[in-house]
C-alpha cells in the first residue's frame, strides 16, 4: 500500500490516525499463549460449522441461492 492509502485506511477504520505509529507494535506483542487462549475460547465443538466439499459433486437439491 502507498502512504496515501495507508493514511486513508487509518482515517477511515481506526479511532485515531496516530494508531499508524503503534499498530505494528500492538500486533507484534501478541504471544503464542495469547493465540492459544483465544483459540481455546472460540474454537470449540459448540462453535463448529463443518462444510464438506467434494470435487465434481453435483449440487444438492437444497434451497436456491
pLDDT at 63: 61
Mean pLDDT estimate for the chain: 89
Mean pLDDT in residue range 16-30: 93
pTM score, whole prediction: 0.55
Dihedral angle sign, alpha carbons of residues 49, 54, 56, 62: negative
Amino acid at each position: 500500500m502507498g502512504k496515501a492509502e495507508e493514511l486513508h485506511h487509518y482515517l477511515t477504520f481506526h479511532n485515531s490516525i496516530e494508531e499508524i505509529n503503534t499498530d505494528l507494535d500492538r500486533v507484534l506483542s501478541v504471544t503464542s499463549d495469547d493465540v492459544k487462549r483465544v483459540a481455546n475460547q472460540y474454537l470449540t465443538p459448540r462453535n463448529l460449522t463443518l462444510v464438506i466439499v467434494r470435487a465434481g459433486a453435483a449440487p444438492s437439491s437444497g434451497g436456491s441461492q
